[in-house]
Amino acid sequence: MKLELIAFTRRGEALAERLAGLLCRTGHQAACTREGLRVEDWAVRAFQRSEGLVFVGAAGIAVRAIAPCVRHKSLDPAVVVLDEGGRFVIPILSGHLGGANDLAREIAGLLDAQAVITTATDVNGVFSVDQWARRQNLAVCNPQKILEVSSALLAGKSVTVWSRWPVAGQMPAGLRPAGREEAQVVVDWVRPGAETLWLCPRTIRLGMGCRRGTAVETLERAALAALDGVGLPQQGVSRICTIDRKGDEPGLLALCRGWKIPLTTYSEEELAGVPGAFPASEFVRQITGVDNVCQRAALAEGGELLMEKRILADGVTAAVAALPPGLTWEEKR
């Protein structure tokens, strides 16, 4: 995770610097970043650019600092507070979807501290569907449905689940399998019924082609229309794929920045070597050296084709493929 830390006393700053180093050694990108800012201004900046905020100091300071920034549990970064003595670590925002609970547990382990977890499912030992989704790299496409599922489990009711793929391990207590149409939770690339909690693997690859100089607004409209046309969510797209000569295309780069995903490019030779039958265009071959860019790019790493090449508005082309996820019921942080 990309983490930013802040502290308010000399003792707290020493702990924050030590913790940032420990977190970096465990694979996070962590740093103390106050740089003389007021705490409120620091919080605004950190909310915009980081996946997690760590306050070393009083919880009240953290609450007041982040209050104007809070939007929704599906959008907010993780926020964790620890006292400057390094004894207690408290997640105060985005415990499940943002990963604050897991981050608090990890920090507690690094500092030999106590994680103070207050979310109801954790306190009662009940399966947390949103935490499981995060650990499995599943996008929660309609997070408003999380409450219904969690409330049912906390009330001792069973919740039905359907997954397009097998899930390794033993299904947790409170869950039972059901058909796709009846299930309350569906794990699939494709949109289920409106009343179902939809979890989508972030393994969708969107192949795209476009004219030079195509505006990002045009590209985004085309991409969203293509995905929606086959019932796929934007949240499940893990990368946009194209030919290497489009690697510096401003519109594609801006779209990837907005969606916070990478632009992955392939050479003419790599695309030509992708196995399979593809809709061919002599015009595209003359321009790029290969008869099809978007569909070949989408399938360059294999996987399942979810949408063949489509020619959209303003010369944008798109195709969609996806790699199967490896799912498990076991704890995976």
pLDDT digits (tens, 9 = 90+) for 151-209: 999 999 999 999 999 999 999 999 999 999 999 999 999 999 989 999 999 999 999 99
Residue 332 confidence (pLDDT) above 80: no
Per-residue confidence band for 289, with pLDDT thresholds at 50, 70 and 90: low
Ranges of each domain in the chain: 2-118, 129-201, 204-322
Q: pLDDT for 107-132, tens place per residue?
A: 999 999 999 999 988 888 899 999 99
The superfamily in CATH containing domain 204-322 is CobE/GbiG C-terminal domain (3.30.420.180)
Which pLDDT score is estimated for 121? 87
Q: Which fold has domain 129-201?
A: 3.40.1390
Among residues 39, 46, 78, the alpha carbon closest in space to that of 62 is found at 39
User: What separation in angstroms does the CA of 42 have from each of 2, 96, 99?
Assistant: 15, 23, 21
pLDDT more than 90, % of the chain: 86
Pick from 178, 136, 134: which is nearest to 159 by CA?
178
State how beta strands 88-93 and 114-115 pair: parallel
CATH no., domain 2-118: 3.40.50.11220
140 contacts 148 by C-beta, under 8 angstroms:
no
Alpha helices in 176-274 (DSSP H): 216-229, 250-259, 268-272
